[in-house]
A = this chain, B = another copy of it.
Amino acid sequence: MRIALDAMGGDHAPREIVRGAVEGLEYLGPEDQLLLIGVRDTVQAELGAAGANDARLVIEHASQVIGMDDVPVEALKQKRDSSIVRMATLASQKKVDAVISAGNTGACVAACQLRMRTLEGVSRPGIAVVLPSFHGPIVICDVGANIAPKPFHLLQYAQMSAAYAQSMFNVERPRIGLLSIGEEEVKGNVLVKEARRLIKEDARLNYIGNVEGRDLFRDMVDVVVCDGFVGNVVLKLTEGLAEGLMKTIAAEVARESRDLAPRFKPIIEAIWARHDYAEYGGAPLLGVDGICIICHGSSNSRAIKNAVRVARDCIVRRFNDELGRKLTRAPDA
């Protein structure tokens, strides 16, 4: 298999990305290749600094870089030789089996959507993030690819995310919840109410009803469906709150007793590591014709390494073939 990695995208690019690629080689076979897309000299220098010397790492030159704050649509037009565009083009030409980027999410989604196109019958791709809850992984879709979805899009997010949870986490009948503001059927906005009707109608889905924010941490659901705006807010809130709470506790413990702090620290670190997004290594853009893994902007090498594993698993398990069989075709597609 061949996996393309955007070496220039992310807050800690190219260093952490290249290191993640080197570490990620452990998931690949001797015949596989990991293409590092980016400015050749820069990537070469990072490979040297990492002491990497493996023929499976191949640099694919792209002269431009799309910045994290660039406006996606404009950036794609103006930077046609950027690593993101190059990566998406390789995928569209079926020259690689999967692509990975920690760069500008909007640009990456747009490039993959435009170049790779969607799977037959899919209206709009959605990003499915794996949230490390206390009871196991929860797949949340969408978290930002589609901030003004139609009810039908949410139905497809339910179908695609359930397939993802099945395929990647071996959950036999993923429990699907629709994120809303009350469990009762009457609660929710127009989008949620209409999506609820569509999801309920699909007997193949194990739909458990509306879920509220607090239910995410009570072992009630495996898959949470929501619009991309709400999903993105949820994701960042979770991140910020977990970080803030951990810091507060650590500070309080240190203030309370000096001898307690060093004993407490490894416990906190272990919990933190287990709930770290880096462990799950990136979110698939579900619904594009190919495998596209979107990583957190602040990805470190560990996150990238795990993204390589996720990409490999999606390829090996033929996830997109699976998906095709589980989708309700869009009326307009």
| A270 part of interface (Cβ distance < 8 Å) | yes
* Bound-complex Cα distance A181 to B109 (A): 15
CB distance from A72 to the nearest CB of B (A): 9
CB distance from A315 to the nearest CB of B (A): 30
**Which residues of the other chain, B, contact A243 by a CB distance below 8 angstroms?**
214, 217
| A168 part of interface (Cβ distance < 8 Å) | no
Cβ-defined contact, A217 with B240, below 8 A: yes
**Which residues of the other chain, B, contact A268 by a CB distance below 8 angstroms?**
249
Within 8 A of B (CB), among A34-74: 69, 71
Number of interface residues of A (CB under 8 A): 53
| A144 part of interface (Cβ distance < 8 Å) | yes
Option from B214, B217, B241, B267 in Cβ contact (under 8 Å) with A217: B241
**Which residues of the other chain, B, contact A264 by a CB distance below 8 angstroms?**
253, 260, 264
Within 8 A of B (CB), among A175-192: 179, 181, 184, 186, 188-190
**Which residues of the other chain, B, contact A330 by a CB distance below 8 angstroms?**
none
Copies of this chain, whole number: 2
CB distance from A210 to the nearest CB of B (A): 11
**Which residues of the other chain, B, contact A190 by a CB distance below 8 angstroms?**
148
19 chain-A/chain-B pairs, Cβ below 8 angstroms = A71-B184, A134-B247, A147-B188, A147-B189, A148-B189, A148-B190, A179-B233, A181-B229, A212-B240, A213-B236, A213-B238, A214-B240, A218-B244, A229-B230, A234-B237, A241-B242, A245-B246, A253-B267, A260-B263
**Which residues of the other chain, B, contact A249 by a CB distance below 8 angstroms?**
249, 267-268, 271
* Bound-complex Cα distance A245 to B236 (A): 16
* Bound-complex Cα distance A213 to B216 (A): 16
**Which residues of the other chain, B, contact A234 by a CB distance below 8 angstroms?**
213, 233-234, 237
**Which residues of the other chain, B, contact A93 by a CB distance below 8 angstroms?**
none
Q: Which residues of A are interface residues toward B (Cβ below 8 A)?
A: 69, 71, 133-134, 144, 147-148, 179, 181, 184, 186, 188-190, 212-218, 228-230, 232-249, 252-253, 256-257, 260, 263-264, 267-268, 270-271
CB distance from A288 to the nearest CB of B (A): 20
Q: Which of A148, A212, A229 has the most CB of B within 10 A?
A: A229
Cβ-defined contact, A217 with B244, below 8 A: yes
CB distance from A248 to the nearest CB of B (A): 5
Cβ-defined contact, B215 with A240, below 8 A: yes
Cβ-defined contact, A248 with B134, below 8 A: yes
Contact A213 to B240, CB < 8 A, known contacts A249-B271, A257-B263: yes
**Which residues of the other chain, B, contact A256 by a CB distance below 8 angstroms?**
267
Cβ-defined contact, A233 with B230, below 8 A: yes
**Which residues of the other chain, B, contact A246 by a CB distance below 8 angstroms?**
245
**Which residues of the other chain, B, contact A270 by a CB distance below 8 angstroms?**
252
**Which residues of the other chain, B, contact A230 by a CB distance below 8 angstroms?**
229-230, 233
